[in-house]
Every structure is written in C-alpha cells, then in structure tokens.
Structure 1
Amino acid sequence: MVLYFTVCATLKAGALVTALRGAEWPTARIIGVVADVAALGFLVLVVATTVARLPPLKTAQGLEPRISALIGCFATVTLIAVPRVEILPQIELTANLITIVGFALCVWCLWWLGRSFSIAAQARRLVTAGPYQIVRHPLYACEAIVLLGILFGNPTWATVAICAIALAFQYRRIINEERVLRATFPEYHEYAQRVPMLLPRFAGASLPAPDPR
C-alpha cells in the first residue's frame, strides 16, 4: 500500500514539475496546477498516515470486506485508461475547481483521521472531532466530490460507469466499517444517533441516523 501510494505521489509530483516549466500562465492553467498540488498533498498524507497508523483493534472478517475495500479504493485507477474527450474551457475550469475543493476537503478529513486511517474495514481509534462531528464518514463524502470533478473533466459513459462502481463499493466499505466500529466502541451507537452518515444534517433536524445493521 505504501509503495503504491508513493509511486502515485511521485508520478503526480513529476507531472506537476513538468507543468510548472511552461512560460505562459493563463487562469485555466493556474487552476489546473492548483488541482495537481491538492491531489499531491492528499497522496503524501495518505502515505504518511499509512506508515504511522495505529495497530487495529478489530478487523472485519470474511472476503467481501477485503474485496470491497480494494475495489472501492482502486477502481478509479482504471480512469487513466479512459480516452479523454474535448470539453469546453468553462467546463474544464469547473471540473478543476470541483477537484480542488474535493481534494482540499479530503486533506482536512485525513488530517483529523490521522493514525486511524486504513484501507480495510478496521477499528483503530474512534475519531469524532473536526469533520467527523459533521458526518461520520466525511472522507468518503469528499472523495465523491473528487469523482464529480473527474466526471465533469471527462464526461464519457466509461467514466460514469467506473465512478458508479467506485461509489457502490465505497458504500459497502462504509457499511463494513460501521459494523466493526459498533462492535469495538460501545460509544459509537450514541455517536451514530447524533451524527449523520454522509450528508450534513440541516439545522433543526433531529431525526436519528439510520442503523446500517
């Protein structure tokens, strides 16, 4: 895992260095470079948190949680092979802005998650502060924003299919993680009643979060 994300970060850094060598800096290009910087920051933080993570207290048993974790995490890698289509400059700019917001929020979530980060459905330490006091799984929600930016940037049926598959397996990861966290931390039930799963609750709403079990 560390090797994979290190290679991704290295490739992204190389592409960023190449992009910085150009002489002209129109607004669209600046936005694109900022998007690459945000993506690189996220990858570097993934490597750091993977290396420094705490030992798991409990891990989901069975084959399905492992398969869901791998597909959910790495399905988007196949987007590299999808041929790019021509899009309007305004749409490309919008796509880059969405990607910047998504990756920036991912960095924020991962920073708070810290040493509790994992790919598989595991319980290391219960994090309920920062973005985790808004929703229980903010990192997945912010990764969905990144996928939306990718979809805007290359709107093809292949991109839609891959993003849909990734989101479906990400949701399975959430369900598996919920089961592990509930079994490990007795206080998780109260936390789940108070904080919604993925979408922030509007002010004044007091409905309990659905129990995924």
Structure 2
Amino acid sequence: MKLNMITLAIIAVFAVLFFHQASGMPWTPSHIVGVAIAAPAVLLLILARLQLGRAFSVRAKASTLVTSGLYSRIRNPIYVFGSLFFVGIIIWTNRPWLLVGFVVLIPMQVYRSRKEAEVLETKFGDEYREYKQKTWF
C-alpha cells in the first residue's frame, strides 16, 4: 500500500508542477496544444492508477486482473496516458530534442507490457486471453 501511495503522489506532484509552470507562460499555439494533450492525459493517468489500486506493482506480478473502468478498453492505460502526457510536455516546451526520450520510452513500455501480459496469461489463462481480445494495447 505504501508503494501505491508513493507512486500516486509522484504523479500528482509532476502534474501540479506542470500546471503551475504552464499557468505562468504565454498562451502560444504550442503551449495550448501541449496543455490540451497533457492535461487530460495526466488526469486519465491518475484515474488509471487509482483504478488499478492494489494490483499495481513496479515488477510484473499477477495479483488481480483489473478489467473495469479504463481497463475495460485499454490493457495498459498507464503507459498510454503516460506517453501522451510526455508528448504534451514535448509540445508545450517546444523542445523537439525531447523526442529522443520518447523514442526510448516507447520500446521500454512495449517490452514491459509484453512481460506483464506473460505473467497475467500464466496466472489467469483463458480469462486473460478473452480480456486481451476485447481491449487495445
């Protein structure tokens, strides 16, 4: 439970810092687009994290198969919305060189999602395979 609260607090702190910094900048087109992507992404990231609850872990483990809420449509909403948040930050800061980080992030998330899928499939079998067919990434 302690790790769950720490990760949620880290996400919340980053969100607050981002919005505080964004509020003091001029509203250029790149800032508007960046905030328009990052704001809903971070809110959905926090929602996904809350919906995952105690099933969250840093290492892949299969304690519970979460299939409700955002997880009813997307198997890995934390990765999806975390990536969108990062894209929003790149656009907002108008620093295309940050795409290097994004290019590194995506393969890492694909790798992690595959590892998690293996663990979940081993534990939940057909139930997970059926869930996987109904959801995206």
Query: Residues 48-82 of structure 1, C-alpha deviation per residue, up to 9 Å, x if partnerless?
Result: xxxxxxxxxxxxxxxxxxxxxxxxxxxxxxxxxxx
Give structure 1 stretches of 5+ with no counterpart: 20-27, 33-86, 198-213
CA deviation after TM superposition for structure 1 residue 131, in Å? 0.8
Please tell me the residue identity of whatever aligns with 1:176: K
Under a length normalisation based on structure 1, what TM-score does the superposition of the two structures give? 0.53
Once residues 6 and 108 of structure 1 are traced to their aligned partners in structure 2, the CA distance between those partners, rounded to angstroms, is 10
Say what the alpha-carbon RMSD is for the aligned residues: 3.3
Write the mapping of 1:94-173 to structure 2, written as runs, cut at 5 A: 94-173=33-112
CA deviation after TM superposition for structure 1 residue 154, in Å? 2.5
Instruction: Check if 1:90 corresponds to 2:29.
Output: yes
Query: Residues 75-109 of structure 1, C-alpha deviation per residue, up to 9 Å, x if partnerless?
Result: xxxxxxxxxxxx97221122122111101111121
- Of 130, 133, 136, the residue aligned with 1:190 is 130
Distance 1:188 1:100, change over 3 A: same
Q: Which has the larger radius of gyration?
A: 1
State how many pairs are aligned: 133
Please tell me the residue identity of whatever aligns with 1:99: A
Query: Residues 93-141 of structure 1, C-alpha deviation per residue, up to 9 Å, x if partnerless?
Result: 2212211110111112112111111121221200001111112112211
Distance 1:154 1:118, change over 3 A: same
Give structure 2 stretches of 5+ with no counterpart: none
Once residues 8 and 133 of structure 2 are traced to their aligned partners in structure 1, the CA distance between those partners, rounded to angstroms, is 38
Structure richer in helix, relative to its length: 2
